[in-house]
Chains A and B, each alone.
Chain A
Amino acid sequence: MVTPLKIWKKIPEQYRRLGILIIGGFLTVIFLREQFIPSDFGELGHYRTSALVNEKNKPLVYAGREKCEECHEEEVSKIENSYHKLLSCETCHGPGLKHAEGEGEIIIPRKREECLKCHEYIVSRPTGFPQVDPYLHNPPKQCTECHNPHDPTPPHPPTDCQVCHRTISSMKSISPHASLECTVCHKTPSHHKFDPRSQRPTKPTNTDVCERCHSETAKTPDYIPKIEVDSHSEGYLCWECHYPHSPEGG
């Protein structure tokens, strides 16, 4: 009969010692892993599940417009019908959850700099976004004297196109077309100043507008360059080569 003890005696001394070491090492590793690896590790992936729970339970700081509406219905309904309808209350008033739960202050921004953070003229801002030059636009008055932030309709509609279309206007103002009003070429319905996206100005579709001043038969002063309409680049519209807001590429 082959007993384990006989097999054990048959294995050479060195292998016996090595075997004990290896098996002992193996068992120690298993024991240590059992002890020290966090128990929720590996359930959903190679991480501790309690990390997910901890992350979910972090405190909130911002509340969201619905929460503000619970108490401030009037202001919210006012702003929803105004130009600022895309704004959340906390965009200007700062984090509001503490205030909503009754324990904190809310910021009420009144200074000029606060409005200028969005409405200052910066060339990288998209065209059509209302921007003002802070040095020219009624300094040092506070914005709130003329514009109610919850209904920021300007006291009178903008007189110039350049209030919103600053980049094009500044380019045009240093070009030969500086003295031309925008409305000479673009027919603008007056409603465009109140609700820009609903009624847009027209753009010329044929060369008549340019020919009014630049054709050789036009009755305009001599310093305006004239061209023979028939032979000058037949088949092309004028603005396919000459950018109208800066016609000589200055």
Chain B
Amino acid sequence: MNRRNFIRDTFGLAVLFLSGKEVLALPRMSKENDRSPRYGMGIYIKRCVGCGKCVEACKLENNVPKYPFFYRTWVERYTIYKDGEVEVETLDRSTKSPYSVEKREKQILRSFFVPKLCNQCDNPPCVQVCPVGATFKSPEGVILVDPDYCIGCRYCIQACPYGARYLHPEKRVADKCTFCYHRITKGLKPACVEVCPTHARVFGDLTKRSSPLVRFMRMNEIHVLKPGMNTEPKVFYANLDGEVR
């Protein structure tokens, strides 16, 4: 056997070996995607009253530590003054008593609440940077974390442009909003959508035309947070102000 044939055969074997798994996995992947729903969420900024019930419900449903440094979902309040200044604060009704007294109510141009959560991106930066494969996109498009496999390197927490992830202080693994995956796979709605008193949060399946989320997308002008990051988020905001970060 001469050198050329040897190299050719080794190369071929190596390619076959490495690609075998992918080639076998591909048909299965597409079959899975045809049948499974794709979940997303819509938020009406004009309806949110900033009561904080969604934050409370999420903490109870998912055992999130009760301190104000760890949130799976939170509500921000934007106040834009006439002189152009923008003030942003995060609300937490569980630890402090309600809002600070408006010092300059006369000078307010507009003010509103913005609920935020993990955007369950379709091109997620957090999944891309995980060194071990502990965070992944489920067949329904929901990004999940495997707490038994995560090594706690915190790369994904740094990678998220929306600040949606945190390190669980006791389990020492990364944690984030999962759209209440254990509820949605049983046909229920996520806890935050369930308790919202004004139905400001809309949850549904993007593949079905009859879902409330698709109706939401038809009836409103849709924005997403940080579109320039190319993350293709699946949480859509109606009437989102340009000042929202």
Contacts and interface: CB of A to CB of B under 8 A. Distances in A.
A and B in contact, CB less than 8 Å: yes
Interface of A: 38, 41-48, 51-52, 54-62, 64, 86-88, 90-91, 94-95, 116-118, 120, 122-126, 129, 170, 174, 250
Nearest to B134: A47
B194 A64 contact: yes
Interface stretch (B65-73, B115-123, B138-146, B203-211): B138-146
A60 B183 contact: yes
A88 B139 contact: no
A47 B143 CA distance: 12
Contacts of A88: 194-197
Contacts of A55: 138, 144, 178, 181-182
Contacts of B106: 174, 250
Given A86-B199, A95-B60, A60 B49 contact: no
Nearest to A91: B195
Interface residues of B, number: 56
B5 to A, nearest CB: 15
A33 B65 CA distance: 36
15 contacts: A42-B25, A45-B29, A48-B149, A51-B146, A52-B138, A55-B182, A62-B57, A62-B183, A91-B53, A91-B196, A118-B197, A122-B50, A123-B79, A123-B111, A126-B47
Interface of B: 21, 25, 28-29, 32, 46-53, 57, 60-62, 77-79, 93, 98-99, 102, 105-106, 108, 111-113, 133-139, 144, 146, 148-149, 178, 181-183, 185-186, 188-189, 191, 194-199
B191 A170 contact: no
A116 B52 CA distance: 12
A44 B139 contact: yes
A150 to B, nearest CB: 14
